[in-house]
């Protein structure tokens, strides 16, 4: 009887020793990863490395390298898709619980607010990329079409960013009076408008073109310039200004006035 108890005790002690050794090894690995981050810089880290590091903060004593690899595999090896994923999608992956996904969602929100802050401080004519980067990050993962307006001052500083409409974006849904009444309140001299295509297709639809023409016409009558209309998808954006479509619209509007 006592021999059986002793055998069980030995097995339990052996298991505890293996667990202790694993935890020490894991802690040592984590310390080396953190040290490398500061020594070599984040640019030296792959997406898998960064995900592993993020997961440290949600999973205290476990190998997170395998989870990081599995996350990327489940989301087409695309870090942005991992961060954009809904919590319910992430929770379907074995080993990920609410605590584990928390740092992922926090990282995404910090990135969103960082880009928004930079966009608000940007001078559009000097740094349009900062405005575009923010709008792309803000809209690319939306499941419903969302219409955003960026209001610019006379020297092209970003005065305000506003989400005005959600749903199928057409000229029947987007009311120019709401777009331009806010512009008048802010004393904005020009605006950029943007909306997303959840399908990922960046090609402007006939409705998108008609809406842009309507907004351009309203802006011209009110002396508030429409600088650009962006269509955002998960792979990038389409710019009416960069593609020359806004110039065509301007010519059509001028012929009608």
Do 140 and 213 lie in one domain? The reply is: yes
Listed residue (132, 134, 105) closest to 242, CA to CA: 132
Same domain, residue pair 15 and 85:
yes
* Nearest-10 Cα torsion for 201, 127, 193, 225: -130
End residue of a domain, out of 57, 80, 111? 111
Domain boundary among 90, 111, 132: 111
User: Which pLDDT does position 4 carry in this prediction?
Assistant: 57
Q: What is the CATH number of the domain that holds 153?
A: 3.40.140.10
Same domain, 15 and 75: yes
Q: Is residue 159 part of a domain?
A: yes
Whether residues 82 and 166 share a domain: the answer is no
Q: Residue 175: what pLDDT? A: 83
Q: Which domain holds residue 141?
A: 124-256
* CA angle (198, 200, 204) in 5-degree steps: 95
Whether 117 is covered by a domain: the verdict is no
The verdict on 180 and 96 lying in the same domain is no
* Low pLDDT (below 50) residues in the chain: 22, 172
C-alpha–C-alpha distance, residues 49 and 257, integer Å: 58
């Amino acid at each position: 009887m006592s021999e059986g108890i002793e055998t069980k005790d030995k097995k339990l002690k052996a298991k505890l020793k293996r667990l202790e050794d694993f935890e020490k090894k894991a802690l040592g690995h984590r310390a080396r990863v953190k040290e490398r981050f500061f020594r070599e810089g984040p640019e030296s880290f792959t997406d898998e490395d960064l995900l592993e590091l993020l997961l440290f903060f949600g999973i205290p004593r476990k190998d997170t390298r395998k989870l990081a690899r599995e996350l990327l595999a489940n989301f087409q090896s695309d870090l942005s898709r991992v961060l954009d994923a809904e919590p319910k999608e992430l929770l379907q992956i074995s080993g990920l619980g609410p605590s584990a996904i928390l740092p992922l969602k926090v990282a995404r929100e910090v990135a969103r607010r960082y880009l928004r802050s930079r966009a608000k401080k940007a001078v559009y004519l000097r740094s349009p990329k900062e405005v575009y980067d923010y709008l792309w990050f803000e809209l690319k993962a939306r499941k419903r079409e969302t219409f955003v307006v960026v209001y610019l001052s006379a020297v092209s500083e970003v005065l305000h960013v506003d989400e005005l409409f959600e749903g199928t974006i057409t000229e029947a849904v987007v009311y120019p009076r709401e777009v331009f009444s806010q512009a008048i309140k802010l004393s904005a001299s020009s605006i950029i408008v943007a909306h997303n295509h959840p399908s990922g297709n960046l090609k402007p639809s006939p409705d998108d073109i008609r809406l842009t023409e309507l907004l351009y016409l309203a802006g011209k009558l009110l002396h508030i310039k429409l600088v650009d209309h962006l269509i955002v998808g998960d792979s990038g954006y389409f710019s009416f200004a960069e593609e020359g479509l806004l110039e065509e619209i301007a010519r059509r509007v001028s012929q009608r006035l």
